[in-house]
Chains A and B, each alone.
Chain A
Amino acid sequence: MDFFTSMDISSSALTAERTRMNLISSNIANANSTRTQEGGPYKRKDAVFASTAPAAASFKSALQSAARKNSAGVEVIEVVEDPNPPRLQYDPSHPDADAQGYVAYPNVNVVEEMADMIAATRAYEANITASQAAKSMAMKTLEISR
């Protein structure tokens, strides 16, 4: 019985989705930040997900996971910056305006971030449900000998 594997898989996804949610919050919070430590306006950040096989203890288990015998969790392997150019807005009175009077605002689209946030929430809920299912199945098993 390996219900704990299933719970580990679900919790790896919860961690990944939460990291994504943090990045989305950061994007929304900095939607109008024109100054950053690296210089220039804030750049939109996004998480890259990759599936992970559970740590292989032996050659045999490594071989099995290579043959897709083992189910895999998920992890955030990289946080990438959106390469799209900043949003230029005409505002000559702004201290960060260039010679033509344009201010470079972050390349964050708040509507897009909201949609991403809903997707992350739903994914989080789905994994919670899977984890609860594993728990209730394990508890049900204990009822056999009652």
Chain B
Amino acid sequence: MPIEGIFSNTIELLGKSIDLRAKNHNHISANLANAETPNYIPATLSFEGELRDALKSNKSANPGKKAVSHPRHIPLKGQANSLASVEGRIVETPAPGIGRDGNAVELEQEMGKLAANQIMYNASVQIIGKKFEGLKSAIKGQ
């Protein structure tokens, strides 16, 4: 039985999700740090769509085969090659009312994003923990 059989996509997907959320946390921290810097435009990492597309193409492709037939082929737009190649896009998210100093950070919005990102991160960590717990109890036969 191949090792993907036990872990399937779950571990890779959740790991990627944790990684990207940690990166997103950096961006949100930077937005908060620059909440009063003139001419600063906040940015966040957007990866949900890309991750979903990667998951779809992973499922549709035969297991053990890559989505593209040649390693140097460039995948079609919106169709990421594999979960591992998902990196997300940095999108600028200026608040609707830019202040007189050109700063576009809205503190409430950033705090909301911070909380949401943290909750999603914790959720991914918890699910990955449960997955390992399930595997462990299957191994022990309890």
- Which residues of A are interface residues toward B (Cβ below 8 A)? 1-3, 5-6, 9-10, 12-13, 16, 48-51, 68-69, 71-74, 119, 122-123, 126-127, 129-131, 133-134, 136-137, 140-141, 143-146
Tell me if B50 counts as interface (CB < 8 A to partner A): no
Q: Look across to chain B and name the residue whose beta carbon is closest to the beta carbon of A47.
A: B36
A13 touches B107 (CB 8 A): no
Which of B28, B33, B38, B121 makes the CB contact (< 8 A) with A12? Answer: B33
Q: How many residues in B have their beta carbons less than 8 Å from beta carbons of A?
A: 32
CA distance A67 to B47 in the complex (A): 18
CA distance A123 to B32 in the complex (A): 8
Q: Look across to chain A and name the residue whose beta carbon is closest to the beta carbon of B122.
A: A140
Main secondary structure of the interface of B (DSSP, over half): helix
B33 touches A13 (CB 8 A): yes
In chain B, residues 34-62, which have Cβ atoms closer than 8 Å to a Cβ of chain A?
A: 34-38, 40, 43
Which of A13, A51, A126, A137 makes the CB contact (< 8 A) with B111? Answer: A126
B26 touches A144 (CB 8 A): no
Known: A6-B25, A144-B128, A146-B129. A73 touches B43 (CB 8 A): no
